[in-house]
Copies of this chain bind each other. A is one copy, B any other.
Amino acid sequence: MQSRYFTLHAHPEGTPARELFELETAELPALAEGEVRVRNTWLSVDPYMRGRMTGVTTYIEPFTLGAPLEGAAIGEVIESRAEAFPEGTKIRHMGGWRDIAQLPADRCERLPAFDVPEQAYLGVLGMPGMTAWAGLNRIAEMKEGDNVLVSGAAGAVGSLAVQLAKARGGTVVGIAGSQDKLDWLESRGIKAVSYKGRDAAQLTAALNEACPEGFDVYYENVGGVCLEAALNTLRVGARIAVCGLIAGYNEATPSPGPSNLAMVLIRRARMEGFIVFDHWAHYPTFLEEVGPQVAAGELDYEETVVEGLEQTPDAFLKLFEGANRGKMLVQL
């Protein structure tokens, strides 16, 4: 049986060119003992993958040029030499960017049993959902009644962070760009602020208007002007969970940081970077808390779905244009 998969054949500088991604085909070897063969139904594309394309080890190993790219995926076992995963089992695994994956059983997870569409385990109940939950609870240590600011607030992670915060918070404000994202935020009872066409001073003024008392928690997905403005609006003892800094991911030359880092001192604030994989031991706690809310339709999660394996690189590149609302997915 053949597998079709994407490879990267050079390290991008700046925004990756579509031509750097190549669709290749290879004959799969016979299944070894303990392995399964999986027909993927959903592939995840995520901003963190940009970091794996640089050829430098950051918090995760870089992608190997010419080898199949990796990422989260949902699929069905179509052939098995692993007792725990018989044919027909729906699983989540990291063999994405391809149609047929073959991997050892110890790198497969059975999908949990909540009454939700299977692709939810790549989004609201997968890595992005867990990232929102871990950032708010384990890094920012959000408390009942805290005022919470979220950048990238209509993205896969941000859209969950604002809703989880809203359920327990005081004022929750989301920063986003396009009008439909702002509208979605308002529809969920979140105060929406646009960063578009605003410099740090103007964005600061807009945030002050939305929440004059300032923020106890800032959930950071973006960086750049959002971070500079957010620093101006912190309350004493504020916590910043740095989940991502997407504004800078495609920069060939790094931009200067915010000129007001002294606010960390003035407001005795804490800024902490985190990687969701470090907190994966708490995934069952997250599932137990958030799974029933999703099954009950209490949490609104958006998906932007692109059809067909061939479109995977395009779906990935759209992440950096702010083109997705909620989780960006490829359906096979």
**Cβ of A11 under 8 Å from chain B:** no
CB distance from A42 to the nearest CB of B (A): 27
Q: Are B244 and A59 in contact (CB-based, < 8 A)?
A: no
- The residue in chain B whose Cβ has the minimal distance to the Cβ of A236 is B59
Q: Whole-angstrom distance between the alpha carbons of A274 and B238 in the complex?
A: 12
Q: Work out how many copies of this chain go into the complex.
A: 2
Q: Are B269 and A273 in contact (CB-based, < 8 A)?
A: yes
Q: Are B264 and A271 in contact (CB-based, < 8 A)?
A: yes
Q: Are B268 and A270 in contact (CB-based, < 8 A)?
A: no
- How many residues of A are counted as interface, with CB atoms below 8 angstroms from the partner's CB atoms? 32
CB distance from A315 to the nearest CB of B (A): 23
From B242, B256, B260, B261, A265 is in contact (CB under 8 Å) with B242
Q: Whole-angstrom distance between the alpha carbons of A243 and B256 in the complex?
A: 22
Encoded as 1 (CB less than 8 Å from any B CB) or 0, chain A from 73 to 111 comes to 000000000000000000000000000000000000000
Q: Whole-angstrom distance between the alpha carbons of A257 and B236 in the complex?
A: 21
Q: Are A266 and B223 in contact (CB-based, < 8 A)?
A: no
Encoded as 1 (CB less than 8 Å from any B CB) or 0, chain A from 38 to 79 comes to 000000000000000000001100000000000000000000
From B58, B245, B265, B271, A245 is in contact (CB under 8 Å) with B265
Q: Whole-angstrom distance between the alpha carbons of A223 and B262 in the complex?
A: 9
Q: Are A259 and B266 in contact (CB-based, < 8 A)?
A: no
- Residues of B close to A254: CB separation below 8 A: 259-260, 262
Q: Whole-angstrom distance between the alpha carbons of A255 and B245 in the complex?
A: 21
Q: Whole-angstrom distance between the alpha carbons of A140 and B268 in the complex?
A: 13
From B236, B255, B261, B273, A266 is in contact (CB under 8 Å) with B273
**Cβ of A267 under 8 Å from chain B:** yes
**Cβ of A322 under 8 Å from chain B:** no
Q: Are B259 and A264 in contact (CB-based, < 8 A)?
A: no
Q: Are B261 and A223 in contact (CB-based, < 8 A)?
A: yes
Q: Whole-angstrom distance between the alpha carbons of A266 and B242 in the complex?
A: 10
CB distance from A266 to the nearest CB of B (A): 5
Interface of A is mostly: loop
- The residue in chain B whose Cβ has the minimal distance to the Cβ of A248 is B262
Q: Whole-angstrom distance between the alpha carbons of A242 and B275 in the complex?
A: 22
CB distance from A3 to the nearest CB of B (A): 32
CB distance from A59 to the nearest CB of B (A): 5
CB distance from A233 to the nearest CB of B (A): 15
- Residues of B close to A264: CB separation below 8 A: 242, 271-273
**Cβ of A278 under 8 Å from chain B:** yes
Q: Are A245 and B272 in contact (CB-based, < 8 A)?
A: no
User: Known contacts A223-B261, A261-B257; is A271 also within 8 Å of B268 by CB?
Assistant: no
Known interface pairs A245-B262, A264-B273, A270-B271; 14 further A-B residue pairs with C-beta atoms within 8 A, sorted by A's residue number: A59-B265, A59-B268, A223-B262, A242-B264, A245-B261, A254-B259, A256-B256, A256-B258, A257-B257, A257-B261, A258-B261, A265-B274, A267-B273, A268-B278
Query: What 9 A-B pairs are tightest by C-beta distance, nearest first?
Result: A257-B257, A256-B256, A265-B273, A254-B259, A264-B273, A270-B272, A58-B266, A257-B261, A271-B271
Offer 13 A-B interface pairs, CB within 8 angstroms, sorted by A.
Answer: A58-B266, A59-B265, A223-B262, A227-B261, A245-B261, A245-B265, A264-B272, A266-B273, A267-B273, A268-B272, A268-B273, A268-B274, A268-B278
